[in-house]
Amino acid sequence: MSSTISTATTTQAATATTGTTSGVSRRALAVPGILASAAAAAATTGVAAIATAAGISFADRTGSAIPILGFTELTLVCALAGVGLAAVLARRAKRPRRTFVRVTVALVVLSFVPDLVTGFNAAATVTLMLLHLLAAVIVIPTLATRLAVRRRSKQDG
């Protein structure tokens, strides 16, 4: 029995230091992912409200403006999509953490394109890009740290 406990403890310690696991439970990603998504939505909405109060207009050339709750909605949708992406990569990718970080960083960079081409003024464009980064620094590390560095293959046992 003590060898079983010792083996289990050693396996847990190795997993904690290498980040290698055979998989990650849905709950291990879902709960922190949903909480991080909500935190990111609250943060981006709060900063957008402060920016609006400071005189930054989120209206484009046509005069169509992003409503404050639009920040909440889009942040939640995109962050929850990230939770889904993390769940898929946890089960399918050979290196879930690295793949997740690379894909999400690329998506954050791509998310700047609409800000740059939609016709917002410079202050709004920079603020929008910073809001994308704000959400990313809340959600990406929260999920990435819960993903395995390397997913064990079935041959590894």
pTM above 0.85, yes or no: no
Report d(CA 107, CA 94) in Å as an integer: 20
Give the number of C-alpha atoms closer than 13 A to the C-alpha of residue 89, restricted to the C-beta side: 24
* Local confidence pLDDT in tens for the 157 residues of the chain: 444 444 443 334 334 434 444 467 778 899 999 999 999 999 999 999 999 999 999 998 899 999 999 999 999 999 999 999 999 999 999 999 999 999 999 999 999 999 999 999 999 999 999 999 999 999 999 999 999 998 766 655 5
Question: Beta-carbon neighbour count of residue 37 at 10 Å?
Answer: 24
